[in-house]
Structure 1
Amino acid sequence: MNPSSYFAPSYLNARQLYLRCAANLAAHVESHVIPAQRGLEGEELATDVVRLGPKTARRLLVLTSGTHGVEGFCGSAAQIALLHDRPLHALLEKLDVAILVVHAINPYGFSHLSRTNEDNVDLNRNSIDFSQPLPVNPAYGDLHALLVPAEWPPSAENAAAIAAYIAERGEPAYQRALTIGQYQHADGMFFGGARTVWSTRLLQTLLEKYGAACESIGWIDFHTGLGPYGHGEKICVGQLGADELQRARAWWGADVTSPLDGTSVAANVAGPVLDTLRRTCTHARTTAIAIEYGTVPLVDMLHRLRADAWVRQHPDADAQYLSTIRADIRAGFYCEDDVWRGLILGQARAAILQAVMGLSREPAC
């Protein structure tokens, strides 16, 4: 099939395609619908789950898409391609490895073309212990009023102030100030929440259910927005277990990066979703990465996320204007280019195969 056939133009179409592929496999689909929420097209919003591989397998690979909503086009396509991949299904049986395909863990953001969920929470900042004092990010606090202005597009003065900050401190400092997460501005960017949200609780439930009998669990979480165009950087982030980074590099190659040793394009964020696995399945050896596919330059990408935050605060703005802004946000995280789409699928299949082979070498009991 042409690579473009695995990509859908909206969450609604992606979900329909995913469910159709699962039906063709006669696979059981477990659907979890967000209560009291609807999509941009008025559709039901759900996270759908399919398990592939031997029923008794005790080595499991988890694949998640749409952690950051609008980034879901990429991960959804990788998952749909996997559902079509009969040779890989046969390999699972041979190697006694299972795959849990979790489609659209943040269906609200996927449908509404937003990074965050129905509560404006960034799921990749929400996997923390909320009974403890929340992290403080004073650098974000210094920028908040500039980042989410009252008008969009921002004024010339606002743009100049942002440019001056970057010129004085550099893009890495600007990126870090925004992206490590913050817990004080609920209307702002990269907000980690005040409590564990629906999607994070669902991930915990799924991992408890499907990971309880597993000794070894791998995870690939698909993202877009950072790095060179079409390149999938494999990032090991969060509260890594003993030897996890070493094991990740053994599975996926020496080019696996991590903010812990300064090799990653991403900052070491607070509460990444991958920590949900590490905190939930303490009985298992866990090996988790995010794959981050490049789209547009860093400052451009962050500018579109600023627009996302503005849209959240102005739901009653002119509908056509909001649609135009959302289309621009979408274009920052999904490139409608067959070369880019082919790069996504090729690297995704390689990473899935590497993880399956890595798991097959792990003890099953």
Structure 2
Amino acid sequence: MTDINLAESFSDSYAEARRRFLEAARSAGATVTSYRHPLPGPGGDDIATDVARIGASSVRNILAVGSGTHGVEGYCGSGIQTALLREGLASSLPDDMALVFIHAINPWGFAWGRRVNEDNVDLNRNFLDHEAPHPENPGYDEIYETLNPADLTEASLEQGRKQMKAYAEKHGAAALQHALSGGQYKYPEGMQFGGTAPVWSNSALRQIIRTEMRDAERIIFIDIHSGLGARGKGEVISTSPETDPIYQRLRALWGDIVHSTRAKGSVSSNVPGSITEVFEEELFDREVSPCGLEFGTVAMNLVAAALVADNWLHRHGGLDNPAAPAIKKQIRDAFYVDADDWKEDVTQQTREMVSRVLEGFKAQ
């Protein structure tokens, strides 16, 4: 692959990230399809989920790499996608394979600096059957006031920390993590809301899967996330049980960096409505292996504090609130480390994972 200046692949805004990604995709000879979001970005600019495909329209094997499912986490995923394209990844594709990059799956969240979408929905909790009863999260109910405080004074935040510590002492650290991140379907203005119907990004992704992957026999999907785990360390997250063929295929590919949310040891809780579920649903008759790739950023207490502050801002005036600039920086810093060593670490780990997929497809 070609050596590049990695700093030129990572960006300081959604608009810059989109421009760099599209330039890299076109330079690599990709076919680009854009799914325009109905709402504008900052300044009235168009925002979109952009798909770059390298390879024939009908192939046996597909590797798909997604970014920005959790909006602001797109700073990480977009940078990695753009770097791999600029390095010349396309030149090493085996025959009968296509590479599909899905950029900014939640473009509104990326553009506006939120983890959620335009409906305050956590997209990674939205891919479930909304006609059926929604999952309960009694732990969230118990700490609702802590996660959604009336103000952000130090006294209020300290009280919240004490309440969460008490919850963890009573129920355990894993229960606290699930209460915090397991999603909820009762409080539309609250943190971790999974929605009560499919949102725009849900429908757009289904269309992308049907358009780009319908003719393939084997599909591997890597969705890049950030915010959980040790700084710069990647974990492959599967929502399938360890006995499931999907988990076993992922484990055969990448070894012990793969963890199931159904077992102990993952940085993530087992959450309903994950993006991996839509790939299993839409490609149920194919050999599909979807997973998340989670990179650590900062300490979990800082991530949690940023999410609390961001949702508080959403409920108290948004960008019109004088506290907006500081909170926007706080949430970006929680999910994106603007440091050369971190960018190199996350890119190198993804590069190695992609190389193993290419080698595996060549051998089949």
Q: TM-score, normalised by structure 2?
A: 0.93
**2:278 aligned residue:** 276
**2:90 aligned residue:** 89
CA contact (8 A) 1:238 1:268 kept: no
- The alignment partner of 1:213 has SS state of coil
Which residue among 28, 33, 37 is the counterpart of 1:34?
37
How far off is 1:358 after superposition?
Answer: 2.9
**1:23 aligned residue:** 26
CA contact (8 A) 2:240 2:247 kept: no
CA contact (8 A) 1:127 1:271 kept: yes
How far off is 1:316 after superposition?
Answer: 5.1
Matches within 5 A, 1:168-187: 168-187=170-189
CA contact (8 A) 1:11 1:110 kept: yes
**2:8 aligned residue:** 5
CA contact (8 A) 2:218 2:288 kept: yes
How far off is 1:359 after superposition?
Answer: 3.6
Q: In structure 2, give the amino acid aligned to 1:17.
A: R
Question: Which structure 1 segments of 5+ residues have no match?
Answer: none
CA contact (8 A) 1:216 1:359 kept: no
Matches within 5 A, 1:336-347: 336-347=338-349
Partner Cα distance (1:317, 1:80) in 2: 29
Q: Deviations over 1:220-241 (max 9, x none)?
A: 0000000011001111125899
**2:231 aligned residue:** 229
Going from structure 1 to structure 2, the CA distance change for 1:192 and 1:265 (only over 3 Å counts) comes to same
**1:61 aligned residue:** 63
- The alignment partner of 1:257 has SS state of strand
**1:203 aligned residue:** 205
CA contact (8 A) 1:96 1:360 kept: no
Partner Cα distance (2:24, 2:319) in 1: 38
2:134 matches 1:134: yes
Greater mean deviation of Cα atoms: 280-289 or 313-322: 313-322
Partner Cα distance (2:19, 2:240) in 1: 33
Q: Deviations over 1:99-145 (max 9, x none)?
A: 11100000111111111000111111111011111111111011112
CA contact (8 A) 1:304 1:329 kept: yes
**1:101 aligned residue:** 101
Higher relative CO (Cα under 8 Å, sequence separation at least 6) belongs to 1
- The alignment partner of 1:194 has SS state of coil
Q: In structure 1, give the amino acid aligned to 2:347.
A: L
- The alignment partner of 2:25 has SS state of helix
CA contact (8 A) 1:230 1:344 kept: yes
CA contact (8 A) 2:183 2:194 kept: yes
Partner Cα distance (1:51, 1:308) in 2: 34
CA contact (8 A) 2:241 2:247 kept: no
- The alignment partner of 2:50 has SS state of strand
Partner Cα distance (1:38, 1:101) in 2: 22
Partner Cα distance (1:41, 1:210) in 2: 31
Percentage identity across aligned positions?
37
Question: Which structure 2 segments of 5+ residues have no match?
Answer: none
- The alignment partner of 1:335 has SS state of coil
CA contact (8 A) 2:234 2:257 kept: no
**2:151 aligned residue:** 151
How far off is 1:198 after superposition?
Answer: 0.8
Q: Deviations over 1:289-327 (max 9, x none)?
A: 111100111122111111111111112575442011110
Q: In structure 1, give the amino acid aligned to 2:109.
A: G
- The alignment partner of 2:295 has SS state of strand
Going from structure 1 to structure 2, the CA distance change for 1:67 and 1:181 (only over 3 Å counts) comes to same
Runs of 4+ residues over 6 Å off in structure 1: none
Partner Cα distance (1:361, 1:278) in 2: 24
Q: Deviations over 1:1-55 (max 9, x none)?
A: 22222100111110011112223234332111111x2223432111111101234
**2:122 aligned residue:** 122
- The alignment partner of 2:220 has SS state of strand
Going from structure 1 to structure 2, the CA distance change for 1:153 and 1:65 (only over 3 Å counts) comes to farther
- The alignment partner of 1:74 has SS state of helix
Partner Cα distance (2:138, 2:87) in 1: 47
Going from structure 1 to structure 2, the CA distance change for 1:105 and 1:240 (only over 3 Å counts) comes to farther
How far off is 1:148 after superposition?
Answer: 0.8
How far off is 1:146 after superposition?
Answer: 1.6
Going from structure 1 to structure 2, the CA distance change for 1:78 and 1:180 (only over 3 Å counts) comes to same
CA contact (8 A) 2:242 2:262 kept: no
